Amino acid sequence: MRLPVEIAEALAEDAGMLAALHDRELTPGAIAALLEAGFPANLGLLPANDAARAAWRKMAAALPRNADGAALDLLAADYAAIYLTGAFGASPCESVWLDEDHLVCQAPMFALREIYAAAGLAAENWRRRPDDHLVLQLLYIAHALRRALEPDDWRRLAALLDGHLLRWLPGFAERVGRRAKAPFYAALAGLTLLWCEQLRDLLADFLGEARPPAVEAGAGAGPGERDGGGARPTAWRPGAGPGW
């Protein structure tokens, strides 16, 4: 039993595209390509409920039509604050959300490293981009979608979403949504969350197995929210190296 090849490939392409948008700063060329493709309407997994439709509309509206110097500077500042400096307290690394002390390179990173190794994958440089980084988790999802053959393969992918990405991505999306200065990265975080939620629902339907109760880190329990919710930067400081 497997999803039709064309559906699995379309979902894998979606995950790869989302990974690429979180991976590097938005450039004029990338913006033009997204507009030409009609992003996010070109995604294979289209919105299935009101919340998802709202996220897709917000993403479409957030694409800058006039990418002048000021707009690009604002996008670059948001990118740096999320993915490079930790200034928004919205780390894209799972350990920072799930570790009691909000430290990087903790148990989630090692758990994901084992999952990747079982699939013959490894982070290119974990010191620059840890195994539990959002980009690497999305790239792994793309890889797994292309290679799932049996129900147990889909169950393992569902377990990864339940045990890892969907535990902290709600908090990440909420934090970025509140703190990003330009609409693009706020919309991208929300879209990524809703896409992952819909993928998990699709797996549940395909397997005929209900989703377990969600176990999230919580939007208010992550880094930078202690001591009255101040925007204290986290201890995380990775670079922005290649995904694998």
Q: Write the CA distances from 108 to 36, 43, 95, 104, 184, integer angstroms.
A: 38, 29, 6, 9, 28
* 24 alpha-carbon distance from chain centroid: 13
Please provide the average confidence, as pLDDT, over all residues in the chain: 89
| Whether the model pTM is above 0.75 | yes
Q: What is the pLDDT of residues 70-94, one digit of tens each?
A: 999 999 999 999 999 999 999 999 9
Who has greater pLDDT, 232 or 16?
16
Say whether pLDDT at 239 is over 90.
no
Question: What domains, with CATH codes, occur in the chain?
Answer: 5-229 (1.10.3480.10)
Burial of 153 (0-12, 13-18, 19+ CB in 10 A): middle
The pLDDT-based confidence of 54 (bands split at 50, 70, 90) is very high
Residues 6+ apart with CB under 8 A from 42: none
**What is the predicted pLDDT for the residue at 186?**
98
Q: Which of 47-51, 64-68, 98-102, 199-203 has the lowest mean pLDDT?
A: 64-68
Q: What is the pLDDT of residues 220-233, one digit of tens each?
A: 456 765 433 333 33
**What sections of 24-88 are H helices per DSSP?**
28-37, 50-62, 69-79
Who has greater pLDDT, 231 or 96?
96
For 38, half-sphere exposure in the C-beta direction (CA atoms, 13 angstrom radius) is 5
**What is the predicted pLDDT for the residue at 149?**
87
Say whether pLDDT at 242 is over 80.
no
Between helix 50-62 and helix 183-207 the angle, nearest 10°, is: 150
Structure tokens at 110: 């090692």
Alpha-carbon Rg for the chain, nearest whole angstrom, is 17
pLDDT > 90 in the chain, percent = 82
Say whether pLDDT at 135 is over 80.
yes
